[in-house]
Amino acid sequence: MSYEQFSIEKVFLDETHNILCNRMYNVMEELASSSSVTLDNVFCITGTVARIIQGAPVQEVDTISFITSSDTLFTAIQATDFSKSFPEANVIKFKSAVQFTVPGFGIEIIKEDTVANIKTESNLRVQDTASIPAYII
């Protein structure tokens, strides 16, 4: 089943951004399934977009941040060739993050030892505002 929640909720005015995030979630669901990881418990939106979804003032965003605490999932993310799912993206892999850039927009997946307070807001899994690490934009 294809993930479409970003488009359904119209998180971004630019539908291209919603589609990219839907595709990211589809890839994460596949990786989680093949790794026997329950995605809802270890992967969510964080940073500015999570704050906005939870009621913070709307502002321009050029990066959407996701966060995971799963070593298993992040190892799978690091091993994945994203050129098939995101041929338009430049992908850079770091020890504790993976960054995707396309013209005018970026997606990052950050690995943390723990991800506190994941909740559902507007049918999207987000990190509670009070728990978002200060360094995440």
Mind listing the pLDDT tens digit for each residue in 126-137?
A: 999 999 999 998
Calculate mean pLDDT across residues 59-78.
95
CATH 1.25.40 fits 5-127, yes or no: no
Sign of the Cα torsion 100, 53, 111, 41 reads negative
Strand pairing report for 97-102 and 105-111: antiparallel
Mind listing the pLDDT tens digit for each residue in 102-124?
A: 888 899 999 999 998 999 998 89
The domain limits of the chain are 5-127
Confidence of residue 1 (pLDDT cuts 50, 70, 90): low
If you average pLDDT over every residue of the chain, what do you get? 92
How far from each other are the two terminal CA atoms of the chain, in whole angstroms?
A: 30
